[in-house]
Chain A
Amino acid sequence: KQEVTQIPAALSVPEGENLVLNCSFTDSAIYNLQWFRQDPGKGLTSLLLIQSSQREQTSGRLNASLDKSSGRSTLYIAASQPGDSATYLCAVSLHQTGANNLFFGTGTRLTVIP
């Protein structure tokens, strides 16, 4: 069974710093990997999706990389802002007869201090 781990569980940084969040998974035969943001008591917002054939994706100040062979992905946030404070979740999918079932990590809770 696919196991997804996110380290660290919590992270506090001063505003303006660049930071990296880590995600690792045990089965490298993934279909794709998604990074989500979750604000307290809210649903998930998709940030980036990396297909299994891709190495990285970028959106604004966010850059996600994927190394399938080592079972790792990183989410890089440049010039962090207080509004980036949230929990960041990583999820990988294994293609199963048309349904894209996601395996989630437990998340990294990020606090950006003004």
Chain B
Amino acid sequence: DGGITQSPKYLFRKEGQNVTLSCEQNLNHDAMYWYRQDPGQGLRLIYYSQIVNDFQKGDIAEGYSVSREKKESFPLTVTSAQKNPTAFYLCASSPPDRGPSYEQYFGPGTRLTVT
């Protein structure tokens, strides 16, 4: 089955610890994205990557880091510098941009709780 997988579904960490969220896709998509969702707010873009070994900051990149060593994988690290890391994190991917019919496909999300 083709799709986007995120693991784990729930993640708990102590304040001050770095944590890495996994995102894998087997859709052969070039672009991948990380969003954060908080109650009462829309999704906000953290980082995106258009090709392997390249990524760009989104609107709220501070306190996060990413890597894109393989086309299928785009892990997100939430560092101790992120002030409010507790949130629902969503990964997405999209095929090459060939016009305005192109869309993003989302994974099931990881809920991170930091105490």
Chain A positions within 8 Å of B, measured between CB atoms, are 4, 31-32, 34, 36, 41-46, 49, 51-53, 89, 91, 93, 95, 97-107
Question: A32 to B97, alpha carbons, bound, how many Å?
Answer: 12
Is B52's CB within 8 Å of the partner chain A? no
Question: A49 to B4, alpha carbons, bound, how many Å?
Answer: 19
Contacting residues, chain B, for A106 (C-beta < 8 A) = 40-42
Q: Are A102 and B104 in contact (CB under 8 A)?
A: yes
Contacting residues, chain A, for B56 (C-beta < 8 A) = 99
* B residues 95-109 in Cβ contact with A at 8 Å: 96-97, 99-109
Contacting residues, chain A, for B50 (C-beta < 8 A) = 97-99
Question: A105 to B40, alpha carbons, bound, how many Å?
Answer: 10
Q: Are A32 and B42 in contact (CB under 8 A)?
A: no
Query: Please, how many residues of chain B have a CB less than 8 angstroms from a CB on the other chain?
Result: 32
Contacting residues, chain B, for A107 (C-beta < 8 A) = 42
Contacting residues, chain A, for B88 (C-beta < 8 A) = 41
Q: Are A52 and B43 in contact (CB under 8 A)?
A: no
Q: Are B94 and A43 in contact (CB under 8 A)?
A: no
Contacting residues, chain B, for A103 (C-beta < 8 A) = 42
Q: Are A42 and B48 in contact (CB under 8 A)?
A: no
Q: Are B45 and A102 in contact (CB under 8 A)?
A: yes
Which residue of A41, A43, A53, A95 contacts B107 across the interface (Cβ within 8 Å)? A43
Whose C-beta in chain A lies nearest to the C-beta of B103? A49
Output the residue of B56, B99, B103, B108 with the most chain A CB within 10 A.
B103
